[in-house]
Structure 1
């Protein structure tokens, strides 16, 4: 029985995901420059030609991996651009972000290892800023709506606190339990916002 269009699409999605997972591991372990498309294809169990059917270049593959990582975190908010962020929505966003990181520590450890490589940092800072903009806008909007006198400064502190907690979660998961960090970060956000009121 011939496969349906949906089955072909499912196979394509699974193959693409496999290539990205293998590439992430090789990029993080061996370095982006030291990893070839041939190595990625071999470890993914496909031909090099087939790998190029999914990604035109190693650089395109890298961009998709980075975008996927950013989107997995920043897409959690359901807040529309023209609405104020409620306390409940902010808490839900932070909780779901921590839960996503906690469900696949290995993936995020590889992702952060990749992002810390000099070539990646130099070339994708702008891409990170664009991808994270909705997240920053959401937090900024919330801080400003509470009458905070320094929303930009407190946005910086809150962002560093969240990112730092994620790094602890993936680099040294035994030091602070994830659930405890999640609660403390949420409490910290509200303390910072309260302290900065007029």
Structure 2
């Protein structure tokens, strides 16, 4: 069965960047992990910075898709339910990307390579959350947005670290209960 070599290279890079770190991962190691020649890896990508940018942009596109599928209408509690569930289901579905994203924050060379994209992603998430709290007539929508964002971010990190034992569905229900407006 034929495989898409560019996908194999991206998957290998994503895994190695998350496990070893961006700086410690070479194009040679990525090519070996993808079971391709170094030359072929360079045919697809100009280097590891190019690979990282592609991977982060793909993840950003996943987040944008998730947001575009959210329905802004409905009772306030349902809006919170849809948002929280969609965000954490995206982490569950695309765990490898989020594992990488969380590890990149601690890698200065990686942040230098894709920091603008990461900042844009974080700004987009915050803006969407702020908009949600504005629509819910929250007293402090910016603060509530930051608090929910930090909560979702922390839960995502804990889930990615240990998905087998982390009670994600129960935690999602607790978050919804705490951030949903009183009926």
Are 1:159 and 2:154 an aligned pair?
Answer: no
Asked whether the equivalents of residues 31 and 117 of structure 1 are also in contact (C-alpha less than 8 Å), the reply is yes
The C-alpha deviation readout for 1:160-181, integer Å capped at 9, x for no partner, is: 0110110111124466401011
The equivalences for 1:20-169 within 5 A come to: 20-78=10-68, 86=74, 87=76, 88-103=78-93, 105=95, 108-121=98-111, 123-169=113-159
Q: How far 1:104 moved relative to its partner?
A: 5.4
Q: How far 1:50 moved relative to its partner?
A: 1.6
Higher Cα Rg: structure 1 or 2? 1
- TM-score, length-normalised on structure 1? 0.75
Q: SS at the partner of 2:53?
A: helix
- TM-score, length-normalised on structure 2? 0.80
> In the comparison of the two structures, how many residue pairs are matched?
179
Asked whether the equivalents of residues 109 and 171 of structure 1 are also in contact (C-alpha less than 8 Å), the reply is yes
Q: How far 1:151 moved relative to its partner?
A: 1.3
Q: SS at the partner of 2:171?
A: helix
Asked whether the equivalents of residues 20 and 61 of structure 1 are also in contact (C-alpha less than 8 Å), the reply is yes
Instruction: Give every structure 1 segment of 4 or more consecutive aligned residues whose post-TM-superposition deviation is greater than 6 Å.
Output: none
Residue number in structure 2 paired with 1:183: 173
User: RMSD of the alignment, in Å?
Assistant: 2.8
The C-alpha deviation readout for 1:70-115, integer Å capped at 9, x for no partner, is: 33234202269xx955544553232133223224545543442344
Q: SS at the partner of 2:22?
A: coil
Distance 2:37 2:6 in 1: 13
Asked whether the equivalents of residues 169 and 176 of structure 1 are also in contact (C-alpha less than 8 Å), the reply is yes
Q: How far 1:51 moved relative to its partner?
A: 1.1
Distance 2:57 2:83 in 1: 18
The C-alpha deviation readout for 1:6-36, integer Å capped at 9, x for no partner, is: xxxx95xx32221111012222222222222
Q: Unaligned stretches of 5+ in structure 2?
A: none
